[in-house]
Each structure stands twice: as C-alpha cells, then as structure tokens.
Amino acid sequence: MPELPEVETICRGLSRKCVGSTIVSVHVHRSSFVRGPSDPSDLLLGLTIARIVRHGKQFVLESVCGRVMLFHMGMSGSLTIRPFQSERAAHVHVHWVLIHNGKKFELHHKDPRRFGHVRAYQSMQIVRNSVWSKLGPDAIAITAEQLRLNLLDRKFSIKAALLNQSILAGVGNIYADESLFQTRIHPLRKANSLSFLEIKKLVHNLQIILKSSIHGGGSTIQDHRDALGSAGTYQKTHQVYGRHGEPCVKCGAVLRKIVCAQRTTVFCPACQKLNRSNKTRT
C-alpha cells in the first residue's frame, strides 16, 4: 500500500486542484526525505504545475517550464490537499503552499514509515530515462504479449512476478492476490509455466480489477486517502485479500494463507489448484 489504484486516485485529485496552481513556498521538515538537492528552490518553488503524470506506483508534478518533482509513495505515503495554514499532522515531512486564482492552499506529504521520498529532476525525459526505464510497463496498460515476454525464463512464482516492478509496474499484494484468484491461478505457479491464454486472462482480469478499484477510490485498508481526503471503498469487494479462514465466494472452500515472495498471500485451494510440475519455491 498504496498500489496503482490508490496512487491514481491521489493523482486525479491533484489534477483537479493543483494543475494551474503556483507553488509559493516549500517547507522541508525532514531533509532525509528529499533525495538529491533539498533546497526549496529545487522543489518547484515559484513554478506553476502543468500536469500530473503517473507510472506504476510513482508520479510526478510537472511544471510549465518542464522541471518536475517525482513522488515515491513507499509503504505508507500520502499527498493531501489541505486548507492554507492547516495544522501539520505527525509524519508530514514536506509541505507546499500553492496559490490558484488568488486563493492559497497546502499540499502535505505524509509518510509514517518513511520508505518513500520526493526528488526533483530537470525534465520529464530524465525521469523516463533514468527512473521509469527500470520499471516494467504500467499495469493498467500492459498487453498480454508484453507480459508474456517479461515472464519468459522466470522460474520464480507468478505471485513474485506480479510484485516485481521491473516486470510490470503498479501491482502490490492486494491486486496480485485478487487477480490470481479471479483467473484461478495458484500463486506458487512458476511464472514461466503459464500459457498465453492464461496470461491473456490474467491481464484482462487484473485490469478490470484495477479500474474497478480506481472507480471505488482505491482500497482503504489502514489509512489510505485520496488527495482530497476521501477514503476508498474497494476493500469492501475484496474476494481473497485479508479473508484467510473465511469461505471462498465462489465455491465455499476455506481460504488459505501462505507466505509467498515474503508477503502474506491468500488463495482458494479448490479454485486455484497447483499441479506438482507447476510448483515453485516460495
């Protein structure tokens, strides 16, 4: 958390409020949270926001002159629009004051676990070439053929493959479990054992789930909020994630929990059967 849908909901809120706004001040409360140069002038001070661009779990605020700020949300990051001169909550490491049509407001970057960061770059092209080039295709746009090619010779589990951001960007524990369940694929299946038909179904189901979650504002498991402070609702429709020990919604079998790719993984042993030849180590 947050995964692609949660980050996308943040980006959509930022697009509605921040595009066209000018940053009038920058306040860094934890210097280690800012990668690279941390002078406020490097964090788009005095510049107007032109657009928000997301890839996987990361996104940038791009200014009209082309300079950008990259946000990595880590495990617990959020970026929330707040009224001007709002009280700063705990774990807000950077906040910006912006102005639009004469009205000021603030942008608070909060990250309790501090796995995320913010960094300035001179252009969007540098981000694409030096940062996002290391990531796989965005999960909402990846094709079955792209995923097929990225799974060739991958002998680890399909669950681990879905979590690997260099294979496809944006999927975490929630949507890996949900999409594998919907496609009836055991999480321990070797990634390179999937047929092209299975990969097509997996991509299809994954993208339906991601889009549905975005429509529902993402999954609020603990404290996810979009940029406007609203909680998501998609967690109410989870079919396996967080439901171990409960009955499968399709067959009634008891959902099981295992550790796969160092992450808690929930699946249905009846709907997602594993053949011995397709098994891989966790």
Instruction: Supply the residues annotated as catalytic.
Output: 2-3, 57, 263
CA distance 162 to 174: 11
The tokens of 259 are what?
């550790």
Contact of 34 with 95, CB cutoff 8 Å = no
The tokens of 97 are what?
């004051």
Contact of 162 with 171, CB cutoff 8 Å = yes
Residue partners of 210: CB distance under 8 A and separation at least 6: 4, 5, 139, 140, 170, 175
Question: Which residues sit opposite 61 in a β-bridge?
Answer: 52, 69
Contact of 44 with 61, CB cutoff 8 Å = yes
Contact of 43 with 94, CB cutoff 8 Å = yes
